[in-house]
Structure 1
Amino acid sequence: MVDPDSELAAQLRFDVPHAARIWNYWMGGKDNFQADRAAGDAVVQVYPEIALMALESRQFLIRVVRFLAAEAGIRQFLDIGTGLPTMQNTHEVAQQVAPESRIVYVDNDPMVLVHARALLTNSSAEGQTDYVHADYHEPELILAEAAKTLDFSEPVAVMFMGVMGYEPDLDVVRSIVGRVMDSVAPGSHLVLWDGTDTTPAVVEGANKLAESGGVPYILRSPDQLAGCFEGLTMVDPGLAPITQWHAEDPAAEHIDAYGAVARKP
């Protein structure tokens, strides 16, 4: 029998910058190669805050998942665009608060899938963790596969964490989010953050990423991101820099990345 992970590994190119590995590099991880580090360094030279953004994005995820599990009573999480596993992944945070939590991770990256099979496993006996290999442009497929683990008659937290910039058309982004949220129960929550075009330096950083061979990433304005939450009720403080969403330090540093949590009525 052919090992599916060996087939996936054969698809990997280590000489071409890879989005998930570049992000891993910025976060201080070890799952990256010279091409990834070169592309990452090109961005850092003009926008050194990118490393802080990477680290703060994980802190935002931790705060959001804790809030949803502890205060909103959510027990199901659909994390779309997972990226490479790192510290304090969604299932670890959720199951620490509520051991019975069920989590489905979604990504279309073969490298992520190989790591996910090894590392994204239950941290509690009562919970369940699974992985769907799919592209976020296929929401119906994602929902069908996730339904094998999640009960869509009950509330679900749908998470798009720093991934929607890979789709250049904002209308397509809103369509993807809307199609998923239309399929989940009332009381479900949408979590979305993304990089924003709020300073010239971050825009130059995005340009350097594309010039260095990385997959281009589209930065949007906070107002454009806010349109993804249409029809939902924002949780306080609404759309805000990710460093300031439920932060312990109210004077947390501003960053060119905005996020929000919103409830489906």
Structure 2
Amino acid sequence: MSDTTSPAAKLDTNVAHPARRYNYWLGGKDNFAADRLSGDQVAAVFPTVKRAAQENRRFLRRAVGFLAGEAGIRQFLDVGTGLPTADNTHEVAQRIAPESRVVYVDNDPLVMAHARALLTSSPEGKSAYIERDLRDPQSILDAPELHATLDLGRPVGLTLVAILHFVRDFEDPYGAVGRLVAALPSGSFVVLSHGTYDGLPAETVAKLEEANAATGGLSRPRSRDEFARFFTGLDLVDPGVLPIGDWRPEPGSTPPDPIDICMYGAVARIP
């Protein structure tokens, strides 16, 4: 009898998945033909998409570095983990504070299998892995692994990096973020990045939408105002909502042209 509970049994390799497509753009090998086809369709219209993926990882590193350093956060909830690569959340945080504790959440069983195998915490800290979907935030908040790892009575850094543009309007992305934020105490922080069509020529947008439709409408890019709405009621950290390359760039670095990246990012404190 086959094991229908194993990660392999639950994988649908015939449908592109955001985490595996992202892995492909980053030069990884944990992807399938459908992911590569979808990735190539986007890259044919938006040739800098691979650089955008790289810049998003750099934004994550800077934002988590800010939380673990200047903000003093020692607990992290990383929703939409993606396949392991360099500078994962716990690695960035634990370089600054080895006692940091991280819970990773993703809805792809391949991601979770790799995370459990490769994302090893420091001896002083702890990491846990939950296979859940952002579209069902309560299932994340109810997970025993979450409460065994994080104390929700103390500040938490919630990261939703390059994931919300895969939650379409009818799936209530603002409600999902609101439910997670409401469960965290004052002094917690939220880190978001999000794809956008802002600044792109209409012809390019039309071609990207055509490629998107070919994969069942995998993504829903949003405008700056739509992105900023996720931070309603929160206190934005300077410098506010910006293209990700412009959010606290490394000293001496030259931020990329926003039109080559097409992603906004920001960090906010829960009052």
TM-score w.r.t. the length of structure 1 is 0.92
Query: Out of 246, 255, 258, which is 2:264 matched to?
Result: 258
CA distance in 1, matches of 2:36, 2:163: 20
Aligned to 1:226: 228
CA distance in 2, matches of 1:169, 1:16: 21
Identity %: 49
For structure 2, the residue ranges without an aligned partner over 5 or more in a row are none
- Kindly report which structure 2 residues correspond to 1:102-141, keeping only aligned pairs within 5 A, or say none: 102-122=101-121, 124-141=122-139
SS of the residue corresponding to residue 268 of structure 2 reads strand
SS of the residue corresponding to residue 79 of structure 1 reads strand
For structure 1, the residue ranges without an aligned partner over 5 or more in a row are none
Q: Kindly tell me: are residues 170 and 214 of structure 1, through their superposed partners in 2, closer, same or farther at Cα, counting changes over 3 Å?
A: closer
Aligned to 1:237: 239
Count matched residues. 262
SS of the residue corresponding to residue 43 of structure 1 reads helix
SS of the residue corresponding to residue 155 of structure 1 reads coil
Contact map agreement 2:132 2:140 (CA 8 A) in 1: yes
- Kindly report which structure 2 residues correspond to 1:115-194, keeping only aligned pairs within 5 A, or say none: 115-122=114-121, 124-145=122-143, 146-169=146-169, 172-194=172-194
Q: Deviations over 1:48-103 (max 9, x none)?
A: 11111111110000001111101000000000111111111001110011000000
CA distance in 2, matches of 1:170, 1:98: 39
Which stretch of the first structure deviates more once superposed, 50-59 or 28-37? Answer: 28-37
CA distance in 2, matches of 1:134, 1:171: 15
TM-score w.r.t. the length of structure 2 is 0.90
Q: Deviations over 1:161-196 (max 9, x none)?
A: 111122221781111111111111110001111101
Query: Out of 194, 207, 210, which is 1:207 matched to?
Result: 210
Q: Kindly tell me: are residues 87 and 214 of structure 1, through their superposed partners in 2, closer, same or farther at Cα, counting changes over 3 Å?
A: farther
Q: Kindly tell me: are residues 127 and 245 of structure 1, through their superposed partners in 2, closer, same or farther at Cα, counting changes over 3 Å?
A: same
Q: Kindly tell me: are residues 251 and 103 of structure 1, through their superposed partners in 2, closer, same or farther at Cα, counting changes over 3 Å?
A: closer
Aligned to 1:56: 55
Q: In angstroms, what is the RMSD of aligned CA positions? A: 2.0
Per the TM alignment, residue 110 of structure 1 is displaced from its structure 2 partner at its CA by 1.2
Per the TM alignment, residue 207 of structure 1 is displaced from its structure 2 partner at its CA by 3.0
CA distance in 2, matches of 1:111, 1:46: 28
SS of the residue corresponding to residue 246 of structure 2 reads coil
CA distance in 2, matches of 1:81, 1:17: 15
Per the TM alignment, residue 7 of structure 1 is displaced from its structure 2 partner at its CA by 1.8
